[in-house]
Structure 1
Amino acid sequence: MSTINYRTLIRNFSSLGLVQGINALIQLLLMPLVISRIGVDYYGQIAVIQVIVFFLATLAEYGYGQTGARDVALNRNNKTVLAELFYNSLYTKFFLCIAAF
């Protein structure tokens, strides 16, 4: 790996780590405030609903995050294939979402 790519990798990794760290810190700071405002019971209900929604979103995603990116990269110059990939992904996610509910 060349020095330029290594530096870019370190910079990108550091930036992503900083953003994720700030995100976690904000959540930790706001959680007591939210719980004191809405109460423990309502916070628990919201947490359960979030878990269910994330589970259903994972089912609807169906691995397109990885395979879709690879297929787009392999066919980036073929607009017909890109359109087909997009609509196949969109329709599949839509029907999986409907089936999950």
Structure 2
Amino acid sequence: MKKRTIDHTELLVLSLLAGEDMYGYQIITELARRSDHTFDMKEGTLYPVLHGLWKDGQVECYEAEAPTGRKRKYYHLTKKGRDALKVETEEWKGYTHGVDAVLSYVPAQG
């Protein structure tokens, strides 16, 4: 399948963080797992998105020690982030509804 750009990275990241606080690599691996590798995000894509969400007040970050003893930076969704997730989810549903409506009129090729 042809690789596509990820136009809605903020929506995807906010959705993951709505379930639990996560560190960067965990976000990358969980996004790939949940999407059946449709979204294989690179660190160079993720960290600017996280920084933008943090700067906008949609996420907060904190350091915690992992079971290995290593310090990790975890990201936590704020109320502003939850509100943004709700709005972006509704916008996405409207968008996909429109795309599905158009695709339903595509004649069968045969």
TM range (shorter): 0.3 to 0.5
TM-score calculated relative to the size of structure 2:
0.32
Larger Rg, first or second structure (1 or 2): 1
Structure with greater helix share of residues: 1
